[in-house]
């Protein structure tokens, strides 16, 4: 076969470069030191596969010149700088290296925790830079016996828990998307009540950055915390509301904070840097020699596999080949993923099983439909760690049963897709179809018959079927300056109703709380597709 060209756009460890250089079927171009304009316009057009890091944006400009690209490897976990949708449309596979820096991130978290407890950076600077010997200024606190709350109990959060137990801390985990036994088997307490985390002495967060987790700790959450709490964030910038964090530190409500990540980076003029009760690092989560070597080696190996079209490890998207997919299936696959994601958003709980039932001509594609549903369900909890290649493996690893079912079509629709999601909180069902080739619709939720376009911000309001409810709901939504773009209502035979309200704008927690106080309200939640 002809040699394939792999362009390295950003600096990676030399051992990764050696792997690329030593493969006789690969031409490696190391363009890490080239100006970005030259890299994109002159070198990138030669590339079959590119390896990037955070210094190179995979955007419209990049893709305009990467005309030969079949795959891009993001050497690291985050893909915030990659336009995945645009790559998918061009048939370019996006891969990342999600586990290579796990230990580095875990140990940095412990570093910040210890630094906050003992004011280590300030004591160090006082002696080394100021040349002042004042032991009495640096009384700290011990980790021993303190209660640690861990938000997000995946690869990193669970390892932080294990290490914290070695310090004889009292550890409690919050993660509605895991089986509680993942924590309890490690002799770590599990809670599904977020207030239990807010009551801890030290809180650390290890979640992906999603619509659900952005600003997860804000003014209201900080107000519930005990005075003198310590907060740690070595995950993603923006998980803590930075203005609220600043005010909490300034007032002393928060005693210390250890921060490695910021909402906008580089953060050289951030207000947090002016406070003397914050330990900060410039996004060093992956910055160990070992993790950089692991990232480079895995990235190089994955790039070679992709260039040779052998495999696409940790692929984050699926390049749809137009000539291999029937036209009528494209909107159904998109609808399947939306329905799966909607199910997860409305049922924030550990998933036990996912059952996918297809009726009609779509039954021939039950495998693909199930993959898209599974990606939709799990993307809410594991974000960029889920992809179309590993979806069912990730589900199996989480002890989630996947059930595929095809049935004769007696539904009255040409095709019908149904998902039955079983979680620790109960069973949720949702059905959908596609009209007129491209019009996607949700047609059933549990026992309610509806006609809802799965699009935008949606409020799901379940209530007793009594007069005046629609007016009350509309009035409260109007108070929050939101325009209602669609209002769909389903009723059952138990004198209950489900309203699905699409709105233009962000649905705030305060709005949902106010709706929940209506006498007729049974439950209220929101989702964004």
283 catalytic per annotation: yes
Query: Count of CB atoms within 10 A of residue 476's CB?
Result: 18
Inter-residue contact 245 to 123 (CB < 8 Å) = no
Q: Which of 13, 74, 283, 502 is catalytic?
A: 283
In the sheet that holds 415-423, the strands lie side by side as 401-407, 351-360, 415-423, 426-435, 439-445, 448-452
Give the chain's radius of gyration (CA, Å).
Answer: 25
Instruction: Give the residue carrying structure tokens 């900080």.
Output: 222
Q: Which of 236, 270, 462, 502 is catalytic?
A: 236
Q: Which of 142, 168, 265, 513 is catalytic?
A: 265
- Helix boundaries (H) for 179-288: 181-184, 194-198, 219-224, 242-251
Query: Count of CB atoms within 10 A of residue 206's CB?
Result: 27
Distance CA 50, CA 4 (A): 11
Distance CA 160, CA 203 (A): 11
| Two tokens, residue 104 | 């580095």
- Listed in sequence order, the residues at least 6 apart from 384 whose beta carbon sits closer than 8 Å to its beta carbon are 77, 78, 79, 96, 98, 208, 316
Distance CA 283, CA 234 (A): 8
Distance CA 327, CA 164 (A): 53
- Listed in sequence order, the residues at least 6 apart from 326 whose beta carbon sits closer than 8 Å to its beta carbon are none
Q: How far is residue 269 from each of residues 103, 237, 273, 274, measured CA to CA in Å?
A: 29, 15, 7, 9
Can you name the residues that pair with 38 across neighbouring β-strands?
A: none
| Two tokens, residue 254 | 């928060």
- Listed in sequence order, the residues at least 6 apart from 459 whose beta carbon sits closer than 8 Å to its beta carbon are 477, 499, 500, 501, 503, 507, 511, 512, 515, 524, 525, 526
Instruction: Give the residue carrying structure tokens 């036994």.
Output: 181
**458 burial via Cβ count (<10 Å: 0-12, 13-18, 19+):** buried
| Farthest CA pair distance, the chain | 83
Closest CA to 299 of 98, 17, 75: 75
| Two tokens, residue 140 | 């700290």
Distance CA 233, CA 267 (A): 15
Distance CA 115, CA 459 (A): 43
Distance CA 443, CA 432 (A): 5
End-to-end CA distance of the chain: 43
Residues marked active site are found at: 236, 265, 283
């Amino acid at each position: 076969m002809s040699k394939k060209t792999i362009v390295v756009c950003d600096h990676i460890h030399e051992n990764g470069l050696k792997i690329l250089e030593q493969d006789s079927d690969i031409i490696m171009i190391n363009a890490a030191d080239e100006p970005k304009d030259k890299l994109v316009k002159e070198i990138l057009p030669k590339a079959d596969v590119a390896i990037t890091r955070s210094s190179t944006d995979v955007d419209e400009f990049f893709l305009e010149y990467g005309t030969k690209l079949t795959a891009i490897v993001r050497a690291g976990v985050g893909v915030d700088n990659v336009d995945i949708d645009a790559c998918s449309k061009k048939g370019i596979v996006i891969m990342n290296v999600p586990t290579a820096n796990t230990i580095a991130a875990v140990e940095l978290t412990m570093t910040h925790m210890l630094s906050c407890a003992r004011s280590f950076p300030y004591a160090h600077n006082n002696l080394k830079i100021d040349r002042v010997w004042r032991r009495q200024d640096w009384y700290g606190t011990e980790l021993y016996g303190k209660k640690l709350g861990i938000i997000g109990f995946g690869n990193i959060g669970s390892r932080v828990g294990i290490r914290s137990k070695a310090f004889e801390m009292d550890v409690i985990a919050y993660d509605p998307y895991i089986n509680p036994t993942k924590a309890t088997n490690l002799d770590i307490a599990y809670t599904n009540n977020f207030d239990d985390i807010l009551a801890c002495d030290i809180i650390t967060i290890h979640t992906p950055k999603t619509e659900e987790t952005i600003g997860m700790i804000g003014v209201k959450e900080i107000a519930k915390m005990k005075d003198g709490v310590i907060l740690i964030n070595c995950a993603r910038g923006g998980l803590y509301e930075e203005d609220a964090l600043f005010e909490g530190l300034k007032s002393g409500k928060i005693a210390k904070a250890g921060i490695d990540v910021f909402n906008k980076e580089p953060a050289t003029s951030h207000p947090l840097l002016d406070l003397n009760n914050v330990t900060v690092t410039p996004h060093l989560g992956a910055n160990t020699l070992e993790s950089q070597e692991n990232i480079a080696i895995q990235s190089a190996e994955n790039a070679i596999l992709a260039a040779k079209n052998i495999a696409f490890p940790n692929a984050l998207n699926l390049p749809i080949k137009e000539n291999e997919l029937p036209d009528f299936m494209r909107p159904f696959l998109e609808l399947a993923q939306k329905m799966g994601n909607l199910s997860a958003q409305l049922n924030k709980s550990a998933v036990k099983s996912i059952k996918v039932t297809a009726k009609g001509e779509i039954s021939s594609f039950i495998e693909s439909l199930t993959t898209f549903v599974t990606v939709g369900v799990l993307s809410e909890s594991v974000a960029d760690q889920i992809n179309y290649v590993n979806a069912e493996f990730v589900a199996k690893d989480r002890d989630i049963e996947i059930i595929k079912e095809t049935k004769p079509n007696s539904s009255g629709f040409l095709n019908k897709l149904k998902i039955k999601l079983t979680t620790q909180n109960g069973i949720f069902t949702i059905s959908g179809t596609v009209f007129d080739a491209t019009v996607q619709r949700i047609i059933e939720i549990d026992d309610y018959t509806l006609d809802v376009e799965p699009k935008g911000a949606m409020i799901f309001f379940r209530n007793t079927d009594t007069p005046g409810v629609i007016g009350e709901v509309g009035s409260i939504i109007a108070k929050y300056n939101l325009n209602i773009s669609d209002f769909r209502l389903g009723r059952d035979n138990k004198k209950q109703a489900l309203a699905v309200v699409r709105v233009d704008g962000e649905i705030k927690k305060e709005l949902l709380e106010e709706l929940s106080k209506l006498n007729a309200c049974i439950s209220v939640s929101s989702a964004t597709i």
